[in-house]
Amino acid sequence: MNGSSEPGFDFLYVQSSTDAITWTDQDIFIGTTVFSRISGTTFGSWLNAVVDLGSYDGNGTVYIRFRFTSDDSVVDDGWYIDDV
């Protein structure tokens, strides 16, 4: 992942679901730091982000989505996601 957003106002969430109706926020691990959501960070280069979905083992289909919330007061790049 790479990108930037307005600190405290724009947020990137990684969410999961088994029914595509009810969604659960997942922790995002970047190195040894754990985020419940990403906001206001400009990495400047691509970083590996990990989401542990081990709790879904044996549950069949798991849906993943990336949810970005934003306001219109500051314009930044947003987020780039690759190699899911």
Q: pLDDT tens digits, residue range 42-83?
A: 667 788 899 999 999 998 999 999 999 988 888 877 888 888
Mean pLDDT of 25-53: 87
In terms of C-beta density within 10 A (0-12 exposed, 13-18 middle, 19 or more buried), how is residue 14 classed?
buried
Q: What is the tens place of the pLDDT at every residue in 5-22?
A: 888 898 999 999 999 999
